[in-house]
Every structure is written in C-alpha cells, then in structure tokens.
Amino acid sequence: MLTWDAEDYARNSTVQFEWAQQLIGRLALRDDDALLDIGCGDGRIDALLAGRVARGRVVGIDASADMIRLASERFPPSRHPNLSFVQMDARRIRLPGTFQVAFSNAALHWVDDHEAMLRGVRACLAPGGQILFQMGGRGNAAGILAVVWEVTRAAGWRESFAGLAPAWHFHGPEDYREWLPRCGFRPERLELLPRDMRYRDTDGLRGWLRSTWLPFTERLPPARRESFLDDAVRAYVSAYPPDADGTIHVAMVRLEVEAAAV
C-alpha cells in the first residue's frame, strides 16, 4: 500500500480540487441526500458537499490513515455535524445505512479491482441512486509518464526501479460498460475527456510529482527522492517546454462515469 503524506498532498492538489469543484457542480443534490465520497483525501471536497446536503449526510472514505486523520482534524463534527470520515479500502466498502449518491474524484485509478468497488457501492446505494465518478482514464498522463519512466532507466537510477510495475489503472468506457451491469448499475454516461493540467513553475510540477507519484518516490530512500524529482522535472520541461507565459502543461485524460443503481 502507498504511504500518503496528507499535508503534502493538501498543499499540492489545487488542480484536483478545481476539477472536483467542476464535477460536484453537476450533482443534482437534495438537501436531505446521503452521499458517499470514495477517496476523500484531505476532506475539502466533502466539506463543500456537506454544505449542500444540510439535512443529509456525507461520509468520506479513504484507504490512507493519514488522509483520514487530516480530514477529521480540519473538518470536525463540532463544525460539520453531517460530515464524517472513515478509513476504508474502496474494494471492501461496508457501511451502515443507505446512500442516494456515490461520488469520487481523482482517486479510483489507484484501485485495482473496480468490480469489487462497484459491488460495495451498490450494496449501500438506494435503488435509483446515482454514481458520479471521475478518475484518470486510458491514456492519462502519457507524456509525463513516458519521461519519468525514461529517467528511471538512466544510469544511477535503474537499479532502484528494477521490476517496478505501474500501480495505477487507467480504464476506458468499454471497461465500465461491462462492469456496471454486472454490479447492479445502468450506465448513463461513460466518457473520456482531455484535461490540461497547468503549473506556473517547476516547483508546482515537482510538488505534484512528489505528493502523488508515490510508486516512483517510495522506491527510493528519502535522501535521494528530491534528486530524482529534479531529474524528472528537468527531463519533462526539456521534452515539453513551458509556453510563452512560462506555464507548464501536462496533458491528462479523465474517465467520467455516470450510472444509476437498478
């Protein structure tokens, strides 16, 4: 299991938060709905959602104990009585009560068994309940991943990365078109969408790599991680130079899934 640094992720997840805000704008929530957020991270998204279901509730789950600790500290029940956080593996969702909505943003590409996740969601979702997921999709981050893999094969790094396999799972609509009916859902919209991730400088890019691409950095002792990130950032900026304003662009692909429980 990856060991997330919740504080570092919170400092370097501005883009993910912006995408989540856009996504939740499409939720048709009633103020008494119960909503499940899968991969809640630092809890900022859940606090927004809880404000939209004042008479309902929001439960955020995450496999990372550090993420749940930070979320619980930042958004305690004393200030957010309809919001709670639970450490839980997305492949083993077991929760009391019934939800009307299941939501997830920028998390499910870390899950290796989406059918197990969907079965767990269906077990706690009311008939007719909605799911709205966005995750890295097929072709996501292809440019930067190619650059980083090339760095891992360079002299000085290759021994540390020998045998490393991808820990992410970038699926396409065709995968969910098969999984959803088998798990008790009716597909409503399955779509791959291009996204432009932007950073004003190399520090922003480095922060995203450090806080998110743990399958690479966790292969290294702490003392060597920054040096590896420096090499990765230099290689990426060389292959994909910033634009005239100095903005660094990373081409991303998101898979969006909308479905209803049957």
Residue 98 maps to a domain: yes
| pLDDT, the chain, mean | 96
User: Residue 42 in contact with residue 13, Cβ under 8 Å?
Assistant: yes
CA angle 92, 135, 111 (to 5 degrees): 30
Whether 2 shows a pLDDT value over 90: the answer reads: no
Rounded to whole angstroms, how far apart are CA atoms 202 and 231? 12
pLDDT category at 234 given cuts 50, 70, 90 is very high
Number of other CB atoms surrounding residue 161 within 10 Å: 18
- Tell me: the pLDDT tens digits for 3-59? 888 899 989 888 888 988 999 999 999 999 999 999 999 999 999 999 999 999 999
Residue 178 maps to a domain: yes
Whether 132 shows a pLDDT value over 90: the answer reads: yes
Percent of the chain with pLDDT over 90: 91
Burial code (b: 16+ CB inside 10 Å, e: under 16) for 209-220 equals bbbbbbbbbebb
User: Residue 23 in contact with residue 29, Cβ under 8 Å?
Assistant: no
Residue 1 maps to a domain: no
- Tell me: the pLDDT tens digits for 65-91? 999 999 999 999 999 999 999 999 999
Q: What pLDDT is attached to residue 4?
A: 87
* Average pLDDT estimate for 90-103: 95
Percent of the chain with pLDDT over 70: 100
- The residue written with tokens 């856009």 in the block is 22
Q: Specify the amino acid at residue 90.
A: A
Please state whether the predicted TM-score (pTM) of the whole model is above 0.85: yes
Domain CATH code at residue 189: 3.40.50.150
| Domain interval for residue 201 | 6-261
Whether 96 shows a pLDDT value over 90: the answer reads: no
Residue 84 maps to a domain: yes
* Average pLDDT estimate for 181-188: 98
Residue 55 maps to a domain: yes
Residue 203's contacts (CB-CB under 8 Å, 6 or more residues apart) are none
Q: How many domains does the chain contain in total?
A: 1
Separation of CA 244 from chain center:
30
Q: What pLDDT is attached to residue 167?
A: 92
